[in-house]
Amino acid sequence: MPAWIKYALMALVLLLLLGAYPLAMQFETGSIQGVITNDFGPVAKASVEAHSVLTGAIMSGASARTASDAAGVYRLDNLRVGRYSLWVEAAGHEAAWVPVVSVERGKTTRQDVHLTRIPTIPTGL
């Protein structure tokens, strides 16, 4: 077999292996999903951040921060397998901290959060 065919076959195998790497990486991540509520129901536009328990840093990627929708639902996707803490804030509410949420490979972890409303003082008395 000519040498150029051997090199072409090795290059082809290398390209196939490199092409499979992104597929393998998508299975090394998981998600966190839940509903943000208060005593009156769902809380829309609540800010949710995932922080690594090991480093305390916000994880890289756009999926480390999100906001809840009109039904109070939020979802953080493509998080690396590991443990996270969640920081949840919404206007007119006390912030909430969830110390540990585990993310498993290929799974969605459910973590609902209940926020306490901050009492408002009427003005113009």
The residue segments making up the domain with residue 64 are 29-114
Q: Which helix (H) or strand (E) holds 8?
A: helix 3-26
Residue 79, in any domain of the structure: yes
Q: What percent of the chain has pLDDT over 70?
A: 85
- Which distant-in-sequence residues (6+ apart) come within 8 Å of 25 by Cβ? none
Residue 125, in any domain of the structure: no
Residue 81, in any domain of the structure: yes
Mean pLDDT of all residues belonging to the chain: 86
| CA-to-CA dists, residue 46 to 2, 24, 76, 81, angstroms | 64, 33, 13, 24
Residue 94, in any domain of the structure: yes
Residue pLDDT, tens place only, 57-67: 665 543 489 99
| CA-to-CA dists, residue 63 to 14, 18, 42, 46, 120, angstroms | 31, 25, 21, 15, 33
Residue 72, in any domain of the structure: yes
* CATH code, domain carrying 53: 2.60.40.10
* Domains in the chain, number: 1
